[in-house]
Structure 1
Amino acid sequence: MRPLRALIRLLEPRDRRRLGLIGLGLLAAAATELVGVASVVPFLTLVGDPGAAARIPLLAALRDGIGAPDERGFLLAAGFAALAAIAVSTATNAAVTYAQLLFTNLVGFRLSRRLLARYLARDRLFFARANSAELAKNVLAETDRLVVGVLTPASVLVTRLLTAVAIVAFLIAYEPRLALILGAGFGSLYVALFLVVRRRLAVLGARASRGNEARFRVVAECFGALTELRLYGRVRSFAAAYDAPAESLARATAAGLLIGQMPRFAIEALAFGGVIAVVLYALGRGGDTAGLLPLLGLFAFSGYRLLPAFQNIFLAVAQIRYNLPAARIVAGELAGERPDPPRPAARLPFRDAIRLERVAFAYGDEAPVLRGIDLAIPAHRTVGFVGRTGSGKSTLIGLILGVLRPTAGRITVDGVALDAATLPLWQNRIGYVPQDVFLIDDSVSANIALGVPAAEIDPAAVERAARIAEVHDVIAALPEGYATRVGERGTRLSGGQRQRLGIARALYHDPDVIVFDEATSALDQETEAAVMTAIDRLAGTRTILMIAHRLASLHRADIVHVLEGGRVVASGSLAEVAPQLGPARTEEGDVR
């Protein structure tokens, strides 16, 4: 019950209120079910003995109440009343079932959305340690398991439990000894079976979670390394890693479903025995055939309602037990959740300089990547960062962007320290162009205004950004212009076009600080020259920070900082620092 209680605590207030309303609906459904079962007693009594109304006070009162003219008319009225009660019971159950299914699926949707938002709010260090396949599995697969295997069965469990309790209570009131014998016999069978299989269900559920995670990981790795795998002819052998976890998941799922259905086979065999037991019980009490019909009909109709209820209760409990690992995962990942406040539109004032004061950073318990960085980046200047691989360039930029937090020291903008309150205001000023621009399978406009709802995209801002990035003419030549879809990851565009779209994206919200994180390193020199032309147009009007792959890319930089071993070892113009790079500078001017 602990994971279920944790899930209830995670529900939003409106969902808790809806859960209370559904609870009232379940009570109403149980009441109508009871009325439907009880309504067959007068009808069957009259079928066996039409004159019973004259002897039984309750039937006489009912007959007088409806003004039935004769026995046949009263029998017909009782039959139609029983049909109406059963119809109302069925309609109520259908409506409540729909409300339950809608509620559980919407709760699952909201939990998955909150889980996705929680992951997206984490810093880059979290993603450096986490496996993206596991995160995707938690958001997509585990929340689906939670809905199908925990929330929905839990609602079914409550519904069927209330129905069963109501019917059993009525049977006990009508014929206590027989009801207790049959109820205890069938109920104990379900309880005994569950106690036998509960541990097995827990093991199968944990195995399913592990298999699901492994499936997601293998599929993600197959698509990520597809080019190399095809080149080396290793697609089949690499993809074979999918087989074991997928088969394990399939077997665990099949076994879990079988366990849930196990009692049905035994109950079907015992149900006919229950009918015989009712007959023998009635005959043993000296009852005649006419008196047997109402009792037999009542227990047969009650069994028709009860046995599926018992089966659904067992199946729901089995499914919950099997899928509890999903509930634990989702509840654990959302523990301590705090809703992100709305992003303010204001910008942090920036006219002077960005300053890093004794800044250090380490990834967890590893050795520091940056040590004692003291740096001033003046506004409206172009500043370059160079250094060997592992020197700390990208980490330094990550700190300036605010996607990483310093382990020691502080970063200020015009004297204002960057913290949880000021960081969003600072990030509103920044545009970012990564080495590999990620494009979504949507229109050019949607890619430039990434994340802006389609109805809110400003076409004028899109075109302005594209013109500054020197990509407007390329877009205008496309079949549908800015409405042209670029394909998955921009496969319909060249590398240089994708990078210039990335620059346009960074410029869409008109930032005055633009960061180029090795944005030209994957391009050939001719294409890089075209992209650098777009970058050069920004010089002097904005603060530009560049991590460069080639020294030639920094020919317009006002100042270049050289990093080595997590420290700034040289600063100055390109001409001043180039000799200090020593063997790191090749004939082509590359920094290795």
Structure 2
Amino acid sequence: MLELFKRLLKHISPRRRWQFGILAILIVIASISEVIGLGAILPFLTVLLSPNVVYQHPKAAYLLELLEIKSSNDLLIPITLLFSSAILFSGFMRLLLLWAQTKICFALGGDFSYKTYKNVLYQPYKIQISRNSSEVISGLVKASGLVNSIVLPIVNIISATCMLLMILITLLYIDVKIALTSILGFGLIYFIIIRITKRKLQLDSQRISRESTNIIKALNEGLGGIRDILIDNTQQTYCDIYRNADLPSRKAQSNIAIISASPRFILEALGMVLIAFLALFLVLKSNSILNVFPTLGALAMGAQRMLPILQTLYVNIITIKGSQASLSDALELMDYKIPYYSNIESGLNFKYENSLKFQNVNFSYNSDGPIILKDINLLINKGERVGFIGETGSGKSTLIDILMGLTFPDNGEFLIDDVKLTLENQKYWQKQIAHVPQNIFLTDSTILENIAFGVPRNEIILEKVVEAARKAQLHDTIDSWELKFDTLVGERGVRLSGGQKQRIGIARALYKDANVIIFDEATSALDSATETEVMNSINSLSPDLTILIIAHRISTLQLCNKIIELNSGRIINVGKYNQIIGLKK
């Protein structure tokens, strides 16, 4: 657990560390105010019961004479005001401490959540496709929840420990034996409970962490495939999957809650019994209730303050132990390093003007895996319409991934106008390309925001959006709608047809001012008539645009002036449509 805390500490910014330093000072002041409030009880009760005792103390008598307090009755009001002030100051400091630690901890939680999300988004494509999205979402949720499960409990433990030490020092000053007996007795009970429940908490923590991922997976799959689920009437199957993940998590959470709350009731009862015996012991020892009443009152109030603090310590320790597995999962994402090249602005400022070239390219996803691309040599001139065909697994998409800078060859080079694509200039190259996939990702927002995807609303240039829609043969359709470009598309574009979605993808690429547009199986899910319309839209685009089209059906590529056929990672044919068709006969 200590190792996890060290890893977590590395993710706290200097600004938050400075704020926690201020918080530490507040904790000390609040703890001292607690001692002042507790320590004021003894003189307050003493003055109430035996005011004349104060005058027998030399220093107190001198102070009273200095303040011109001559009778015991004159002493009652000032001592009451002083006692009340001490209690009010203590309460104020506890309230201020609560406000400060809550604000700082939740701000830190925001830092953790944002940093984790940023780390995930900036990871290379190879890492993105290697993880299940449910695991990533679960990790992000856990990182967001670190405030309540880890950060606040740690701060509460530090605060409670500091206050407990101050209270203990005060009680030791009043009566050493009784104070030690109380703290050791209560502390021993909590220690035994923690030792007994340690293994159970660890198992429940792992179960909560594991099942939270399964719950998100069940939600993703159930809601993502809702059309097929409704058609096949398999709702109950997915309800069972969700329940089988949710119930174990709920049981584990209930176990931790019970373990956290149980000692409180035992300690409250034992505390009252202990105070009763302490009262009996002190009375028998002094033979006078009046003599021991101030001491007993101070000890009783000390115990009354100590028990909730002990319970706070215990509950927060249990909370941390119960969240250990979730912390480990969150740290796995938080420990990701943002690649150094992510923030590099290319000093080359190159612009694609002539050709794209694959030169002796070989690629495999891992060293002991199959070779996906073998000895690829290919030249694509600016303004060409180039089609790619081949069976599933032939390497078409991998070839395009290299062209888009999502991954890099094991051997060989990909060149833009004889400039080798590297990690350092990847970002600049990707500004010049646009990708239109088979399934266009649409946000649940307006047509305007989906065409200018990723651009803040207040920075979108309407005229540019309209022009992109016009070139994509979509403007007339949008113009016929009541809200026009402010029309909501629904979640994942549910209110649009397949052809309309593809045209939004084309318009999005044009809004980006891309020099290269890649259509990756963009028409495979469309009917023939819609596919023809979309292909005509593509063909009508500027002749300066280089357009690359991946397709399963060769008929889709009739308008291309060059077709590349791949098989088992190799280019086996290059030619025009009629030539490739001739080879197929």
What amino acid sits opposite 1:164 in the alignment?
A: L
AA in 2 matched with 1:292: V
Deviations 1:52-92 (A, max 9, x none): 22113454355345544532232222122222221221121
Look up the equivalent residue of 1:278 and give its one-letter code: L
Aligned to 1:276: 276
Determine if the alignment matches structure 1 residue 459 to structure 2 residue 467. no
In the superposition, relative to structure 1, how do residues 503 and 301 fare at CA in structure 2: closer, same or farther (>3 Å)? same
Helix, strand or coil at the partner of 2:286: coil
Partner residue in 1 for 2:116: 115
SS at match of 1:432: strand
Mapped to 2, the partners of 1:252 and 1:65 lie a distance apart of 65
User: Deviation per CA, 1:308-367, whole angstroms, max 9, x where unpaired?
Assistant: 000000000010011011211122222252376546498532122111122122233431
1:234 corresponds to which residue?
A: 234
Q: Which residue in 2 is equivalent to 1:498?
A: 501
Deviation at 1:166, TM superposition (A): 0.6
Q: Tell me the residue number matched to 1:399.
A: 402
Cα deviation per residue 1:352-387 (whole Å; 9 max; x = unaligned)? Answer: 211112212223343122111111111121111111
**Which residue in 1 is equivalent to 2:572?**
569
1:355-370, aligned counterparts within 5 Å?
355-364=357-366, 365-370=368-373
Runs of 4+ in 1 over 6 A off after TM superposition: none
1:287/1:422 CA distance change after superposition, 3 Å: farther
Q: Deviations over 1:87-138 (max 9, x none)?
A: 2211211122122122222222221222122222223332332111111111
Aligned ranges 1:244-323 → 2 under 5 Å: 244-286=244-286, 288-323=288-323
- Say if 2:379 is the partner of 1:376: yes
Letter matched to residue 101 of structure 1: T
Say if 1:359 and 1:406, in contact at 8 Å, map to a contact too.
yes
Deviations 1:281-303 (A, max 9, x none): 32243252222121111111112
TM superposition shift of 1:418: 1.1
Residues 53 and 63 in structure 1, CA contact (< 8 A), matched pair in contact too: no
Q: Say which SS state the counterpart of residue 281 (structure 1) adopts.
A: helix
Question: Is the CA contact 1:348–1:429 (under 8 Å) kept in the aligned structure 2?
Answer: no
CA distance in 1, matches of 2:187, 2:254: 25
Residue 541 of structure 1 aligns to a residue in which SS? coil
Contact 1:118-1:334 within 8 A present in 2 as well:
yes
CA gap of 1:42–1:65, structure 2 versus 1, over 3 A, is farther
- Distance change in 2, residues 1:438/1:55 (3 Å): same
* Contact in 1 for aligned 2:123/2:339 (Cα 8 Å): no
Alignment-mate amino acid for residue 121 of structure 2: L
Greater shift in the superposed pair: 421-430 or 529-538: 529-538
Please identify, of 116-125 and 249-258, the stretch whose mean Cα deviation from structure 2 is larger: 116-125
Structure 1's 298 and 19: CA in aligned 2 closer, same or farther, altered over 3 A? same
The CA distance in 2 between the partners of 1:530 and 1:65, in whole Å, is 101
Distance 2:146 2:473 in 1: 49
Q: Secondary structure at the match of 2:453?
A: coil
Q: 1:150 to 1:34 in 2, by over 3 A?
A: same
**Bigger mean CA offset, 70-79 vs 447-456:** 70-79
Counterpart check, 1:78 vs 2:60: no
* Cα gap change, 1:494 to 1:330, in 2 (>3 Å): same
Q: Which runs of 5+ in 1 are unaligned?
A: 583-592
Supply the distance in 1 between the matched residues of 2:262 and 2:503 (Cα, whole angstroms).
Answer: 62
State the 1:190 CA deviation: 1.2
**Which of 539, 543, 548 is equivalent to 1:540?**
543
Q: Distance in 2 between matches of 1:563 and 1:280?
A: 94
What SS does structure 2 have at the residue aligned with 1:10?
coil
Q: Is the 8 A contact 2:120 2:336 kept in 1?
A: no
Deviates more, 1:458-467 or 1:345-354: 345-354
Q: Taking structure 1 as reference, are residues 70 and 471 closer, same or farther at Cα in structure 2, changes over 3 Å only?
A: farther
AA matched with 2:355: A
Distance 1:167 1:574, change over 3 A: same
| Conserved? CA contact 2:23–2:101, under 8 Å | yes
2:557 maps to 1:554: yes
Aligned pairs for 1:495-534 (under 5 A) are 495-534=498-537
Does 1:386 find its partner at 2:378? Answer: no
Residue type of the partner of 2:12? L
CA distance in 2, matches of 1:70, 1:181: 39
- Corresponding residue for 1:41? 42
Matched length? 581
Match of 1:422 in 2: 425
What secondary structure, in the 3-state scheme, does the structure 2 residue paired with 1:313 have?
A: helix
CA contact (8 A) 1:520 1:549 kept: no
Deviation at 1:565, TM superposition (A): 0.9
Aligned 8 A contact 2:391 2:552 in 1 = no
Kindly provide the amino acid, as one letter, of the partner of residue 566 in structure 2: L
CA pair 463-58 structure 1, distance change in 2 beyond 3 A? farther
Q: Please report how far the alpha carbon of residue 212 of structure 1 lies from its aligned counterpart in structure 2 after TM superposition.
A: 0.8
For the 8 Å contact 1:48–1:291, the answer to whether it is kept is: no
Please say which of residues 572-581 and 53-62 is displaced more in the overlay: 53-62
CA RMSD of aligned residues (A): 1.8
The answer to whether 1:349 aligns with 2:384 is: no
Q: Once the two structures are superposed, what CA deviation does each residue of 1:138-174 show, in whole Å capped at 9, x if it has no partner?
A: 112x124422111111111111111111110111122
Residue of structure 2 in register with 1:588 after alignment: none
AA of the residue aligned to 1:256: I
Distance 2:125 2:582 in 1: 34
More deviation, 209-218/524-533? 524-533
2:475 maps to: 472
Q: TM-score, normalised by structure 1?
A: 0.94
- 8 Å contact 1:42–1:59 — kept in the other structure? no
Which residues of 2 match residues 159-174 of structure 1 at below 5 A? 159-174=159-174
Partners of 2:90 and 2:322 lie apart in 1 by 31
Q: Which amino acid aligns with 1:151?
A: V
CA distance in 1, matches of 2:29, 2:547: 67
- Pick one of 435, 441, 445 that aligns with 2:444: 441
- Greater CA deviation, 270-279 or 58-67? 58-67
Aligned to 1:124: 125
1:290 partner SS = helix
SS in 2 for 1:109: helix
Contact kept in structure 1, 2:143 and 2:330, CA below 8 Å: yes
Equivalent residue number for residue 2 of structure 1: 3
For the pair 1:215 / 2:218, whether they are aligned, the reply is no
> How many angstroms apart in 2 are the aligned matches of 1:571 and 1:376?
11
Structure 2 counterpart of 1:408: 411
Find the counterpart in structure 2 of residue 106 from structure 1.
107
Letter in 2 for 1:50: P
Amino acid at match of 1:54: Y
Q: Partner of 1:489 in structure 2?
A: 492
TM-superposed deviation, 1:479? 2.1
Q: How far did residue 580 of structure 1 move? A: 2.3
Local SS of the residue matching 1:561: strand
Shift of 1:535: 0.9
Structure 2: unaligned runs, 5 residues or longer: none
1:309 partner SS = helix
**Secondary structure at 1:129's aligned position in 2?**
coil
Identity of aligned residues (%): 29
User: TM-score when scaled to structure 2?
Assistant: 0.95
**Structure 1 letter corresponding to 2:581:** A
* Aligned residue identity for 1:300: A
